[in-house]
Amino acid sequence: MPRRAALQQLSRQLSAAIAQPDWEAMEKLSASLAKNIPLLAERGAWNALEQTELLQLRKIHAQAVKICSEEKERLGLHLGALQANKEGWVAYAALGEYDSDGNQA
């Protein structure tokens, strides 16, 4: 496949994964980039159109990294909140299930 077409395809796929967001697809595409960009570079100097496509792919990849970092932060906060409330949940579980009047449900 010509380099420009390969770069365009990777850009489209990564953009689609970001739009979902499809975390597994982003992971696979990131690994694919790490593997395939050096192979594409071995073919020789990039022409102007290929450089433009490569720059666009870099921008899209940076966007994917940002989205993943934001999701990682969000999940970390959520897990922290769950951990903070763990003792209360354990106490309620030890008491059994009660309705709002204090009667066992």
Model confidence pLDDT, tens digit, residues 20-45 = 999 999 999 999 999 999 999 999 99
Per-residue pLDDT at 79 exceeds 70: yes
Distance of CA 6 to the CA centre of its chain: 22
Residue recorded with tokens 């594409």: 40
What's the pLDDT at 21? 94
The mean per-residue pLDDT over the stretch 7-15 comes to 97
CA torsion, points 2, 7, 8, 10, in degrees to nearest 10? 120
**Residue written as tokens 């159109």?**
49
Identify the pLDDT of residue 103.
59
Mean pLDDT of the chain: 89
pTM for this predicted structure: 0.75
**Per-residue DSSP letter, 98:** B
d(CA 9, CA 22): 17
